[in-house]
Amino acid sequence: MKGEFRSESVEREGSPPSAELAGRVVRAVEEALKLPHPAPADEALLRDVEGLDSLLEEIAALREFSLAMARGELDYGARHRGVVIGALKGLQANLRHLTWQAQRIASGDLDVRVNFLGQFSEAFNSMTDQLKGTLREKDRLAARYKDLSDHDPLTGLYNRSAFQEEAARLLTDELFRERSSALIMSDIDHFKRINDSFGHQCGDEVLRRVSGLYRVGLRQEDIVCRYGGEEFLILAPGISAGVARGIAQRLGDAVREMRIVWEGSPVAVTASFGVCALPPLGQDGFTLRFLREHVQIADLNLYRAKHGGRDQVVGGDCDDADAGAECCGPEN
């Protein structure tokens, strides 16, 4: 019958109803879980319930073992010790593996996954995915900030400091360090007059257009920067000053042929160029002083071009660049 507790060992005259006995059993078990030495009032009656003594002994043994473990007595000799210690060892192994996973994450390996700790594993893996996304965004922003810090915002060309870094990288590369190279300094002619006549917005447009011509008119390995104001500096690695002079002449032709109309009026633009040879680095290596000295020579040749009538190239006429001569400087 539903709700009744039946036992063959207590089916005798004068025994309490089965439901009442079941309640006493439940209370006895509850007391055993709470007290070290349970002493129910009707202990004699409950002793007749089959298996109850064994259950109470098991409960008492487990309780004593739990208390011993809580006190740190890991050598406690209970028959349940093997099961519990085995579970603890399994947990310890999992935690060691988790520590190893965490160390891999700390070293940058964000592809690790944990699958042995249930919901904790899900939270751990979710944390790893979020960390990976955060690092990807950090790398993207770092690359973006580096790009912004390296480039002139108006023209998109390298700025001076980034040009120096790229020049050091190129000139020390195995492909170019034993070969001559060349510098080309360029300046837009009468740029102040353009600003005064058409306004600074027109001047900005001229700078952007000239920058675009220089980008497409150079080789892939060449680098160009906005050196300052309306001046541009080009490094052409692995070629002689004479070849660089030809490049400068083609760039000058492209600038002269460029058509800019500002508010209905044509804007005539020309550029002047100074060329200087860069000797092979050899065993001396690259230094900023080496670069600055040759930039100064290219700048002096540019000065000669502007004061010689503008819209022309000066320098790059000598053939001894491969011998390491600092040619094409101004005459004394």
Query: What pLDDT, in 10s, does the model give residues 11-28?
Result: 445 555 667 767 777 777
Domain count across the chain? 3
Query: Is residue 70 in some structural domain?
Result: yes
46 close to 30: Cβ distance less than 8 angstroms: no
Let me know whether 177 and 88 are in one domain. no
Residue 244 has pLDDT above 60, yes or no: yes
Cα–Cα distance, 276 to 51 (Å, whole number): 104
Residue from 29, 5, 287, 285 nearest 173 by CA: 285
pTM for the whole structure: 0.60
The pLDDT of residue 7: 43
The pLDDT of residue 11: 47
Burial of 69 (0-12, 13-18, 19+ CB in 10 A): middle
Query: Is residue 267 in some structural domain?
Result: yes
Q: Determine how β-strand 271-278 pairs with β-strand 313-314.
A: parallel
The pLDDT of residue 233: 98
Query: Is residue 54 in some structural domain?
Result: yes
Let me know whether 298 and 231 are in one domain. yes
Cα–Cα distance, 58 to 55 (Å, whole number): 5
Let me know whether 179 and 122 are in one domain. no
Cα–Cα distance, 134 to 181 (Å, whole number): 43
Tokens 């917005």 belong to 201
Burial of 167 (0-12, 13-18, 19+ CB in 10 A): buried
Residue 46 has pLDDT above 90, yes or no: no
Residues known to be catalytic? 230
Average pLDDT over the chain, rounded to whole? Answer: 79
What average pLDDT score do residues 85-93 get? Answer: 65
- Among 79, 111, 137, which residue terminates a domain? 79
Coil, strand, or helix at residue 271?
Answer: strand
User: Which structural domain, as residue segments, surrounds residue 72?
Assistant: 8-79
Burial of 90 (0-12, 13-18, 19+ CB in 10 A): exposed
